[in-house]
Structure 1
């Protein structure tokens, strides 16, 4: 029987998915986060790298691979709030419909600051939406990375990525993962690889994913160069962006995930993870 995967193939998972060779009996489709969240929950795919908030919301039905994540400690560069007013003065914020995770994170951060601007669904590039009357725009993924660089760049030989400004031309870019770190001191987990509890992935797929991750991280300069050309960004920018990620769902990441679950979705079922490599099957880790 075919095992079906659903991949959100943004640049941030290129070190895992670019080198991945699916074993026999496994097929894959790709889409944006909300599409793959829906595909997994509806049964159209059996495993997906879904938004962590959807994993939390459906913890009664889903289990996650114990050693795969898309997480950062500090800035992420591709989940950004572009705004023309200070955060405390925001009135209307445009939200993308592509990611429930980023919207949930923004809602938590605003609530923790005691802020309540009007949040509206609207798609488009940040500067276009700001010019149309919004004073805040949430952008995610590869487009958000490009638009951040449009504000923060250019990166010169004598300048490091961490020294780039977060404001120009009247636009400020607030990195939501950096705001989370300032609030909690924990990493932020954007995505996990989840599957329905009754249908875990075959061992051959897990082995192929782990081999692909080793290969991708071991050749990060090559991965970065390839994706920098697609994005129209300097290789240094994309390489820094990729080596910034935490792909192994380690103990600090689980702490951050548990804290986000408590703030964003209190009262949901405890999170369930499959056995780590080398553990007997049937063991579940709890954050």
Structure 2
């Protein structure tokens, strides 16, 4: 029987997916986060790197791989609120329909600050939507990364990659992952690799994913070189973006995930993570943590 994967292939998972070779009996489709969330929940795919909030909301039926994540400690650069007023003065915020995760995170951050602007679905780039009367626009993924650079760039030779600007052209960019860190001191886990509890992935697929991750993390400069032209961004910006990510769902990431679950989905079912499978063959031992 074919095992079906659903991949959200943004640049932030390129270190895992770019060189992934699917084993026999596994097929894959790609889509945006909300599409892959729906595909997994409806049974059209058997595993997907889905939004963490959908994993939390469906924790009664879903389980996550124990050592795969898309998480950051501090800024993420690709989940951004673009705004022309201070946060406490925002009245109308345009939300993308592509990501349930970013919307849920924004709602938590606003609620923690005691803010309640009107949230409306609207698609388009930040500049266009701000020009249409919204004073805040939520953008995600590769487009958000490009639009952040459009606001703050171009970076000069004197700009350090550890202290990047967040304002320009009359627009402020609030990085939601950084706002989460400021609030909690924890990493933020945007996505996990989840599957139905009654249909775990074959060990050969997990082995292939771990091998691809090891290859990608070990060659981030090459990954950045491949993706920079497509995004229209400098290679050093893409490489800095990628080395921020935490791909192993370690203890701090789980701590942040549990805290977000408590704030965003009170009363959720217990989050469960599958056992670490054994090796496929003695000659090809599994990667353990790094």
TM-score, normalization by structure 1: 0.96
Q: Distance in 1 between matches of 2:277 and 2:159?
A: 41
* Residue of structure 2 equivalent to 1:234: 234
Matched with 2:111 is: 111
Other structure's SS at 2:260 match:
helix
Residue 130 of structure 2 corresponds to 130
- Cα displacement (A) at 1:78: 0.2
Check conservation: 1:155, 1:161, Cα contact below 8 A: no
Deviations 1:22-48 (Å, cap 9, x if unpaired)? Answer: 000000000000000000000000000
Other-structure match for 1:57: 57
Residues 243-274 of structure 1: per-residue CA shift (max 9 Å, x gap): 00000000000000000000000101010000
- 1:164 offset after TM fit, Å? 2.5
Range with bigger deviation, 103-112 or 212-221: 212-221
Partner of 1:171: 171
The question of 1:247 aligning with 2:247 is answered: yes
Rounded to whole Å, the distance in 2 between the matches of 1:142 and 1:160 is 22
**Following TM superposition, where does structure 1 have runs of at least 4 consecutive aligned residues deviating by more than 4 angstroms?**
none
Q: Is the 8 A contact 2:203 2:277 kept in 1?
A: no
> Structure 2: where are the runs of 5+ without partners?
280-290
Instruction: Provide the C-alpha distance between the structure 2 equivalents of 1:113 and 1:61, rounded to a whole number of angstroms.
Output: 33
| Partner secondary structure for residue 129 of structure 2 | helix
**Structure-1 residue corresponding to 2:206:** 206
The answer (yes or no) to whether the contact 2:224–2:235 under 8 Å persists in 1 is yes
Show the counterpart of 1:270.
270
SS at match of 1:161: coil
Query: Is it true that 1:180 corresponds to 2:184 in the alignment?
Result: no
Distance in 2 of aligned mates of 1:222 and 1:161: 18
Look up the match of 1:155.
155
Q: Please state how far the C-alpha of 1:163 moved relative to its aligned partner.
A: 2.5
- Bigger mean CA offset, 218-227 vs 111-120: 218-227
Q: Is there any run of 5+ residues in structure 1 with no aligned partner, and where?
A: 280-287
CA distance in 1, matches of 2:162, 2:171: 18
**Superposition deviation, residue 278 in structure 1:** 5.1
Q: How does 1:9-20 map to 2 (within 5 A)?
A: 9-20=9-20
d(CA) in 2 for partners of 1:191, 1:31 = 14
> Match of 1:25?
25
1:94-121 CA distance string (max 9 Å, x none): 0000000000000000000000000000
Q: How does 1:183-198 map to 2 (within 5 A)?
A: 183-198=183-198
Aligned to 1:257: 257
Secondary structure, counterpart of 2:6 in structure 1: strand
- Residue 82 of structure 2 corresponds to 82
Q: Is the contact between residue 63 and residue 272 of structure 1 (CA under 8 Å) also seen in structure 2?
A: yes
2:285 counterpart residue number: none
Contact 2:203 2:278 in 1 (8 A): no
Normalized against structure 2, the TM-score is what?
0.95
Coordinate RMSD, CA, aligned: 0.9
Check whether the contact 1:5–1:28 (CA below 8 A) recurs between aligned residues.
Answer: yes
Tell me the distance in 2 between the aligned counterparts of 1:47 and 1:160: 39
Q: Is the 1:8–1:32 contact (alpha carbons within 8 Å) kept by the matching residues of 2?
A: yes
CA distance in 2, matches of 1:218, 1:165: 28
* Distance in 2 (alpha carbons) for counterparts of 1:172 and 1:162: 18
Q: Secondary structure at the match of 1:163?
A: coil
Find the aligned partners of 2:155 and 2:225 in 1 and give their Cα distance: 16
Q: How many residues align structurally? A: 279
What residue number does 1:43 align with?
43
* 8 Å CA contact 2:68, 2:247 repeated in 1: yes
